Amino acid sequence: MNALNIKRGSSSHSAYDLRDPNGDVIESHTLAVVVANESGVLARVIGLFSGRGYNIESLTVAEVDHEGHLSRITVVTRGTPAVIAQIKAQLERMVPVHEVHDLTSEGPAVQRELALFKVAGKGDARIEALRLAEIFRANVVDSTLESFVFEMTGTPEKIDAFADLMRPLGLREIARTGVAALSRGV
């Protein structure tokens, strides 16, 4: 017997294995970070991610308030709930950061991304590419005898689906802006 009155070997489980079973779930989160529009701020925010080994799946930055000199950084990242909470806490402690919102956990949000697709093809492949573009509401923004450039706005999943369908038809290049997101409602 030891000090806790537990017999040796009475349990095959260790006290160190008392982890939350949902704690290891990797989730994708969209973070909206409002920062002072100053030189070096983006580098500091990105440095927080790279210095701790966090991956950024999507990054969008633009000035949103000219008079107040504020920019909005939208970051899509993946991690366990504990990692996401740590990222938010570390961002909130940074001096040029005014607000941090986890759009994924705060409720419904609207997410959109802009993409350009260059598709080369002739004959039936060209006709099929135009037909699919119409279904996906992609606009032709450039056309030559050998290729099209399509412009599409939508969710990242919609853009991925369009790219998958265009690959066998002659997809040559993709340019994506990254996710822009806002929470729904007031």
Specify the CATH class of 109-183 in words.
Answer: alpha beta
Q: Of 19-23, 47-51, 117-121, where does mean pLDDT reach its minimum?
A: 19-23
Kindly report the CA angle at 60 between 55 and 65, in degrees rounded to 5?
135
* Residues 75/58, Cβ–Cβ less than 8 Å: yes
Question: Is it the case that residue 17 has pLDDT exceeding 80?
Answer: no
Mean pLDDT to the nearest integer, 86-103: 95
- pLDDT attached to residue 154: 97
Q: Please give the order of strands across the beta sheet that includes 70-79.
A: 56-65, 70-79, 27-36, 97-102
Q: Which two tokens stand for residue 38?
A: 């100053």
Parse the chain into domains and list their residue ranges. 23-102, 109-183
- The model's pTM is 0.79
CATH number of 23-102: 3.30.70.260
How does pLDDT run across 138-163, given as a tens digit for each residue? Answer: 999 999 999 999 999 999 999 999 99
Provide the pairing of β-strand 180-183 with 109-120: antiparallel
CA dist 166 and 62 (Å) reads 30
Confidence of residue 102 (pLDDT cuts 50, 70, 90): very high
Confidence of residue 24 (pLDDT cuts 50, 70, 90): confident
- Which parts of the chain fold into alpha helices (H)? 41-51, 81-93, 124-135, 156-166
